[in-house]
Amino acid sequence: MHLTQPRRGLRALVAGSLAAFLLLVGAAPATAADEQNGVEGKSFIIATDTTFAPFEMFKGGEVAGIDMDLLKAIAESQGFEFEVQSLGFQAALSAVTSGQADGVIAGMSITDERKEIFDFSDPYFDSGVQMAVAASDDEIAGYDDLEGETVVAKSGSEGLAEAQKLSEEYGFTVKALDQSATMYESVKNGSAVAVFDDYPVLAYGIAQGNGLKVVTDKIPGGQYGFAVAKGENQDLLEAFNTGLAELKESGEYDRILDTYLADPESASNGTFLDVVADSMPALMKGLWNTLRITIVAFIIAMVLGIAFGFMKISTSRILRGIASVYVAVFRGTPVLVWAFLFYFGLPQLTGVKGDIFWAGAATLALNAGAYLTEIIRGGLRAVDPGQMEAARSLGLGWGKSMQRVIVPQAVKISTPAMINQFVITLKDSSLLLTIGFAELLYQAQQIYSVNFRTTEMLIIVGIMYFIVITILTWIANTIDKKVNK
């Protein structure tokens, strides 16, 4: 069933592409199609998954993999440029439908449901789902052994669909997870007995020593396609198809696939120190992004906190009300909701492409600003009212009294809580990996999705966070002691 449907769609697609192609050729008396392909010299944003080796993977801080190499070769032959955004699978799809990205290539199976929202290219890979278990597992040898057990598959993937289809017949439970590395870890640690994943992905992971083994035959089906939002970027789709055909003809296509599937070089044979050394450049880049966005967000948050903090102690009921609503809204909603809203939702409403750094910074700033509002209000309130009376009795105005007498004391009272909030914001910034912001934890995920050294990477990142936060806290406390004697 799953076999025929994509093919029917495929035929329609090919026919459509062909018609468009002929139209193009007929309309212009050009000799070479790629001079008239409408993408020449243009630049596109292509969204992709973060963790789908060997289709998407990070190598030396760069996105590599079958998808990337194909895209690069096609872009070269068709004369367009592209910028890759590694967002994670679901986020990559959202990015395209929301107009944040022009196209998506993410080892994405062509399905009827997806064709409702996307226009697909010609399939560039014939995949298929396979089941793998822990290498040490001698009990699960086929679907028959799965009764009463739990298996994992990737959210929104063919693997999940296949597993769900089989689950009724064989009586097992399917749990959806977001990343290949997480799925493999849960099989290794026993929280699931098996994983359903696309066979090239499994094969690559096993070659990298992810500790699994394949126990079933490949379920055929699942063709991968490049996609654009329905009705949009047809030139790009066209160029992809033309380029793909050229690659297949020239043999470049097979060469690219062989690089990753025939004999992938293993990345995981190093010691812990090798892992640290190999990953450090990417992790330092992530750390820099973490610090950058935290500091920018915290500065904005301080401005918000001061503004709303003063509004909270104002005599105006309206100003107090506005500040209270702000605090209630941003304290009462999860950071992630706003991250998604700012990065994916807002562009859909406004039609303006969002910038990931500012979407992330705004998310953190508005959240921290709400807490800082309360911290600053508390600090101002904690100053003895007699201080204001004394300043006013000397003939100073309200503003001068605040500036010279109340605020310096309030700052002193609030500083420890502010430092605390800074640390919380720094840690919260890791949530931005969900929209694809390349901060520290995101970089770690990129790395362990390729080398499968999940535990080690998490330990390294944990230590890095700890060291940075300890140093920053120490600096802040030292300044606090010097300034607020």
Partner 1 sequence: MSAVIEVTGLRKAYGSNEVIKGIDLSVESGEVISLIGPSGSGKSTILRCLNQLETATGGTIVVDGFDLTDKKVDINEVRRHIGMVFQHFNLFPNMSVIENIMLAPVETGKKNKSEARAQAQALLERVGLGDKADARPSQLSGGQKQRVAIARALAMEPNIMLFDEATSALDPEMVGEVLEVIRELAKSGMTMVLVTHEMGFAREVCDRVVFLSDGVICEQGSPEEVFGNPQQPRTKEFLSKVL
User: Which residues make up the interface to partner 1 (CB under 8 A)?
Assistant: 384, 386-387, 389-397, 400, 404-405, 408-409, 412, 485
What are φ and ψ of residue 459, in 5° steps?
-65, -45
Smallest separation, CB 390 to partner 1 (Å): 4
| Spatial separation of the C-alpha atoms in residues 256 and 259, rounded to whole Å | 5
Of the chain, the end-to-end C-alpha distance in Å amounts to 75
Q: Which residue has the tokens 């999860």?
A: 334
**DSSP symbols for 283-296:** HHHHHHHHHHHHHH
270 CA to centre of own chain = 27
What SS3 class is residue 335?
Answer: helix
- Residues 94-125 as b or e (16 or more Cβ within 10 Å = b): bbbbbbbbbbbbbbbbbbeebbeebbbbbbbb
How many separate helices (H) and strands (E) can be counted in the chain?
A: 19, 13
Q: Locate 295 and state its tokens.
A: 């500091």
| Spatial separation of the C-alpha atoms in residues 224 and 121, rounded to whole Å | 9
Q: Locate 297 and state its tokens.
A: 């967000």
Q: Locate 472 and state its tokens.
A: 């920053």
DSSP H or E stretch at residue 474 = helix 454-483
236: how many CB neighbours lie within 10 A of its CB? 25
Would you say 274 or 389 has its CB closer to partner 1?
389
Smallest separation, CB 481 to partner 1 (Å): 15
| Spatial separation of the C-alpha atoms in residues 38 and 45, rounded to whole Å | 16
Q: Which residue has the tokens 């800082």?
A: 372
Would you say 333 or 409 has its CB closer to partner 1?
409
Pairing label, strands 103-104, 43-48 = parallel
| Spatial separation of the C-alpha atoms in residues 103 and 106, rounded to whole Å | 10
Smallest separation, CB 389 to partner 1 (Å): 5
User: Which of 416, 355, 361, 405 has the alpha carbon at shortest distance from 383?
Assistant: 405
| Spatial separation of the C-alpha atoms in residues 253 and 132, rounded to whole Å | 28
| Spatial separation of the C-alpha atoms in residues 135 and 190, rounded to whole Å | 12
Q: Locate 151 and state its tokens.
A: 């298996």
Smallest separation, CB 299 to partner 1 (Å): 24
